[in-house]
Amino acid sequence: MNRKILITGGAGFIGSHVIRRFVGKYPGYQVVNADKLTYAGNLENLADIDSSPNYVFEKCDIVDKQAVAGLFAKYGFDGVIHLAAESHVDRSITAPDEFVLTNVVGTLNLLNAAREAWKDGYEGKLFYHVSTDEVYGSLGADGFFTEDTAYDPRSPYSASKAGSDHMVMAWHHTFGLPVVISNCSNNYGPNQFPEKLIPLVINNIKHSAPLPVYGKGENIRDWLYVEDHAAAIDTLFHHGKSGETYNVGGNNEWKNIDLIRLLCRIMDRKLNRTEGTSEKLISFVKDRPGHDMRYAIDSSKLQKELGWSPIPDFAVGLEKTVDWYLSNAAWLERVISGEYGQYYDMMYGNR
């Protein structure tokens, strides 16, 4: 079947994996990547597929409602996969406004444009909103986030994502817009901007720089390989039930300090350094304000209803990830050569 799909935020980390998957797997689909190219957007992530006949890039700020409406008028989309967002919790603490603009107002503009474009009938149409497990807040030692867990966002980032999730559901209930939402745990893998924990630690070990561990390093995250998330998005875009939300997770909980120590061992081996060299770089720094203690996802709904499951072996995913950053040194150096230095000094300079 031929389809015209708008994928927002396709030049970012997860979006680039989703674009690559859709462009390669569905040659009959026209895939339009709309991205503002913020510091986190990088067309180099898509260099291998950017001349594919079924792929188009459009530079677009989703906060600009005329630009968003213009895209719908130009292409006549029948599906939207919405990933564009400001995505880093630490930046949302130092500069929250951009998060409300892109994550809330940007989502509003897309919902309104889809509703207007599909006013003659919703048959065959879908607005798929990609969200985060952070909307559920923070867990104690036990339990998991399910689709019925009450929203309790605690950072400006998660509050803005929660706001966008609520609007997507409101547009479904009030206007009948066909929607699917997924809430996913922490992703890792190639092409992630090195402001996030795993690529930051890999990059710092490579440069023998301190490894900043927030607080005592006891916070827990549930890590999922990015291609598993892209596979879940593919499954949900095609088979998710309209009006439903689905949790996506790796069933793979790690205390930050244990994960960092594991990365240190892998990096010592890969860089032929004596075991224990990288661990000496660990530096406990001031905690993130409002730092959520634990995230853990129950993804049994997606697994049982739609047959998706993650790669079972974290060690394999992590090795692949480390190998990618080490063999894509030019990518990493270019990414950290821009505003990253100023950001890094501002974030870590006084901790």
Question: Which of the choices ligand DAU, ligand NAD, none does residue 228 contact, using the CB cut-off of 5 to 8 A by kind?
Answer: none
Question: Does residue 87 interact with ligand DAU by CB under 6 A?
Answer: yes
Q: Which range, of 45-53, 107-115, 168-176, 194-202, touches ligand DAU by CB under 6 A?
A: 194-202
Catalytic residue among 35, 61, 78, 133: 133
Who contacts 182 (Cβ-Cβ below 8 Å, separation ≥6)?
Answer: 128, 129, 130, 131, 232, 233, 236, 240, 245, 246, 247, 248, 302
Cα 48 from Cα 150, distance rounded (Å): 41
Residue 313 annotated in active site: no
Residue 133 annotated in active site: yes
Catalytic residue among 157, 188, 325, 344: 157
Among 168, 213, 231, 266, binds ligand DAU (CB under 6 A): 213
The contact set with ligand NAD (CB under 6 A) reads: 8-9, 11-15, 35-38, 40-41, 60-63, 83-87, 102, 106, 130, 132, 161, 184, 186-187, 193
Output phi, psi for 189, to 5 deg: 145, -170
Q: Under rule CB under 6 A, how many of the chain's residues touch ligand DAU?
A: 19
CB of 73 to ligand DAU, least distance (A): 31
- With contact defined as beta carbons under 8 Å apart, do 300 and 147 qualify? no
Nearer to ligand DAU, 20 or 154 (CB): 154
Structure tokens given for 153: 């966002």
CB of 259 to ligand DAU, least distance (A): 8
Residue 134 annotated in active site: yes
Cα 162 from Cα 153, distance rounded (Å): 7
Question: Does residue 57 interact with ligand DAU by CB under 6 A?
Answer: no
Structure tokens given for 215: 């607080």
- With contact defined as beta carbons under 8 Å apart, do 127 and 68 qualify? no
Cα 274 from Cα 212, distance rounded (Å): 21
Catalytic residue among 35, 78, 86, 134: 134
Nearer to ligand NAD, 8 or 54 (CB): 8
CB of 47 to ligand NAD, least distance (A): 14
Q: Which DSSP string do the residues of 199-252 spell out, in sequence order? A: HHHHHHHHTT--EEEETTS--EEEEEEHHHHHHHHHHHHHHPPTTEEEEE--S-
Structure tokens given for 347: 């974030």
Nearer to ligand NAD, 187 or 278 (CB): 187
Active site residues: 133-134, 157
Note the residues at the interface with ligand DAU (CB under 6 A). 87-89, 132-134, 185-186, 196-197, 200, 212-214, 219, 221, 256, 288, 295
